[in-house]
Structure 1
């Protein structure tokens, strides 16, 4: 299960005036890849509700035995791109940061202990240079361009939200801006459904989401028995709209719009 270890620290990053065009109560729904089992239903809800979101792409194992960026899913991503959603990198092999280590080749430099959860090295602890991490961020962008013909904005989300100042600085140096999520925006689809049923997660989100919040959910979580999406997704969207909120992609967020345009 992915855990949001750094979720509480993002409030300060998201502070300040946050406004999408024509709306004074914007919220920013973001969806990371997963096993993709609910992806078609999620797309139906977004189309029905006329909501645009930001997707973060990794090449994760799917319920059908393939991967979320393989040829089976290429038409799905192409359709989402045509609809006007926004996209960012989630690292190709869903690579978790574990720790910083000193670079033996440069006493002032830093390398990173990382553990992919997908791909040929899944589960293996590795040590990468900053250049290797930057190359990993670029891999979903290259695949996205091959699938859709569109360029991916230079936005990324580290798996699990796990980062360090050195990792963020390395990504920034090669042009990538990290996107965490708001404390109230952690929608809970990673949590066990027996302890956190959908009705509870829905009510918690409706009670606590505030203007400017970046929200996080996924296109399928292996460990959740009662899928969060689309059961919670549509009533959440409708409930927030009834409360005067509107939905925007990160291209309208003042902290990320410059990176989204690159």
Structure 2
């Protein structure tokens, strides 16, 4: 191989490695064996069907709204929007300074038919922790939510989407499935509600899981426009468990569209 060609090929390979590394840093995701919503539906017991009166996402164009790191002072307005639009959502709640600070909001989220899920106690990156610390981060939030709602969550979302074998093992022990996402507005980096809306609409797809945060100023004002446009496109909004039905999220497994 000519020297110039070899150098060019090495540079191209290096560029690809750098791009992949940058992509990993930007998304915050680790390597894992992910299962899609369609996989979960396919794993359902033979003959299993969705409950009467509920959405069959194998037939309908479904999408799931999820909100991380609340509840906060923005959550009541969000719940008002969801109630008005008859849209269910999944809330991955943060324990410290959120669940314990806003028990009435946690109670309201559950009472209004939304899925209550776990986003750890203090948003520590779980892959940086030893197993006991991971267990503490998840179990404290499990206990706090159960004390308020009477039910422990069955879903969790690791901060920044970072997981590994140890996180998976602890999640399995605690009866928690890990839920990732397919669309994010990176609303932690902007207060521009129009931009948040555009980013989500550009990424929305069938069986998608949308990641937003109900703790940032620009997010909740973007939600009505997101809902309106996706309804026009023929989407039906569901919780994450509804998206997987008649299958169900198995503890420890990672689900990502």
- Work out whether the TM-score is over 0.5: yes
- How far residue 148 of structure 1 moved from its aligned partner, in angstroms, is 2.1
CA contact (8 A) 1:10 1:181 kept: no
Q: As a proportion of its length, which structure holds more strand?
A: 1
CA distance 1:153–1:35, change in 2 (3 Å): closer
TM-score, normalising length: structure 2 = 0.72
CA contact (8 A) 2:94 2:118 kept: yes
Q: Deviations over 1:43-89 (max 9, x none)?
A: 111111111111111124xxxxxx2122x511111111111111111
2:46 pairs with 1:21: no
Secondary structure of the residue aligned to 2:35 is coil
Q: Tell me what 1:144 maps to.
A: 145
CA distance 1:132–1:97, change in 2 (3 Å): closer
CA contact (8 A) 1:250 1:256 kept: no
- How far residue 35 of structure 1 moved from its aligned partner, in angstroms, is 7.1
Q: Tell me what 1:37 maps to.
A: 73
Q: Tell me what 1:213 maps to.
A: 208
**1:88-167 matched pairs, under 5 angstroms:** 88-98=117-127, 113-114=128-129, 128=130, 130-149=131-150, 151-167=151-167
Instruction: Mark the runs of 5 or more structure 2 residues left unpaired by the alignment.
Output: 1-24, 42-53, 252-257
Instruction: Mark the runs of 5 or more structure 1 residues left unpaired by the alignment.
Output: 61-66, 99-112, 115-127, 222-226
Aligned equivalent of 2:224, options 203, 216, 234: 234
Q: Tell me what 1:68 maps to.
A: 98
Q: Tell me what 1:191 maps to.
A: 189
Q: Deviations over 1:119-166 (max 9, x none)?
A: xxxxxxxxx3x24422431211211121122x1232111111122233
TM-score, normalising length: structure 1 = 0.71
CA contact (8 A) 2:95 2:140 kept: no
CA contact (8 A) 1:26 1:246 kept: yes
Q: Deviations over 1:14-39 (max 9, x none)?
A: 26468872451110111112471311
CA contact (8 A) 1:186 1:215 kept: yes
CA contact (8 A) 2:176 2:250 kept: no
In structure 2, what is the Cα distance between the partners aligned to 1:160 and 1:202? 21
In structure 1, what is the Cα distance between the partners aligned to 2:247 and 2:181? 16
Q: Deviations over 1:82-129 (max 9, x none)?
A: 11111111111222135xxxxxxxxxxxxxx33xxxxxxxxxxxxx3x
- How far residue 243 of structure 1 moved from its aligned partner, in angstroms, is 0.6
Q: Tell me what 1:4 maps to.
A: 27
The alignment yields a C-alpha RMSD, in angstroms, of: 2.9
CA contact (8 A) 2:92 2:157 kept: yes
Q: Tell me what 2:195 maps to.
A: 200
CA distance 1:260–1:235, change in 2 (3 Å): farther
Greater gyration radius: 2
